[in-house]
Structure 1
Amino acid sequence: MTLQPIPPARYEEGRLLALAGFADRFGMSDLSGLPLLWQRFAPQIGQVPGQHGRDSYGVCYNPDQQGGFDYLAGVEVSTAGPLPEGFSTLTLAPQHYAVFEHRGSLQGLKATFDGIFLWLAQSGEQQAYAALFERYPAAFDPADPEAVMEIWVPLQRK
């Protein structure tokens, strides 16, 4: 299989985004805990105090030089009210993004990310030191071969 760059679907100016959900630390060498984090969080969707909308977000932030990063599986919240025990919050500042679409089940997500980072290396764009996130529409089904979700890659402004 030859890796192909994936051009962005569009560019967006992101807005302030307040999120609440479950978070944990991962390393690129072992991402097996990500599905488990989502399995723990999924029953909370629609029940989070102050939840705004039905989309969910997977956010990669606080990367280190060894390939480690924090990941939050969460939803947007409009209020900073009390949250149940075990919840984490994260606020994303407005940022310039390249937005990519992933089509199909999550089994192919790694190939999409590989194509995005190949595009980034060839595009002349520079990734900003800011959170990268996945946006899952309310009706997203991770097993659906026709499912569509978005990956928002922060870019440095030129």
Structure 2
Amino acid sequence: MTLQPISPARHEDGRTLYLAGFAERFGMNDLSGLPLLWQRFAPHIGHVPGRHGHDSYGVCYNPDEQGGFDYLAGVEVNAGQVLPDGFSTLTLTPQHYAVFEHRGSLQCLKATFDGIFQWLPRSGERQADAALFERYPAGFDPADPDAVMEIWIPLQRK
């Protein structure tokens, strides 16, 4: 099956985000641990000290040449928040982003990412050396065929 590139829903200048949650290292050849990370984190979502807002975030950062990357499943918190043992923190600095919508079950998320990364080289844009993230609204159900979430791809400023 040949996927078609998808266009961004919009471009947006992000703001500083202070995130806290659970983080692990993954490789592109085996992403099976991502749902398990979210399953471990999910019971904490409404109980993270200093939580700010209602969205949850999945952040890919620190990529390497072998396809490895760190991934944080987390929520936004107040800067400098003291957190329970086992939590990781990550600060995202302001970037310019292309924002894409993913509609439907997370089982099809890879197809959306594939479409984004087909769009990117054809768009004239260049990805910035910064974290990309998924933004999940409150109440997001990963199995709901009508669910909507966003993927934020950092772009180099022109």
Q: Same fold (TM over 0.5)?
A: yes
Partner of 2:92: 92
Q: Secondary structure at the match of 2:46?
A: coil
Partner of 1:37: 37
Q: Secondary structure at the match of 1:46?
A: helix
Alpha-carbon deviation of 1:122? 0.8
- List per-residue Cα deviations over 1:36-61 (Å, max 9, x = no partner): 00000000011000001111000000
Partner of 2:73: 73
Partner of 1:17: 17
Tell me which amino acid in the other structure corresponds to 1:95: Q
Partner of 1:107: 107
Identify unmatched segments of 5+ residues in structure 1. none
Alignment length (residue pairs): 158
- Counterpart CA distance in 2 for 1:94 and 1:63 is 19
TM-score (norm 2): 0.98
1:21 touches 1:87 (CA, 8 Å); kept in 2? Answer: yes
Q: Secondary structure at the match of 1:3?
A: coil
Identify unmatched segments of 5+ residues in structure 2. none
TM-score (norm 1): 0.98
Percentage of matched positions with identical amino acids: 82
- Counterpart CA distance in 2 for 1:50 and 1:89 is 12
4+ residue runs over 3 A deviation: none
Q: Secondary structure at the match of 2:72?
A: strand
Root-mean-square deviation (CA), in Å?
A: 0.6
- Counterpart CA distance in 2 for 1:111 and 1:73 is 20
Partner of 1:53: 53
- Counterpart CA distance in 1 for 2:116 and 2:18 is 25
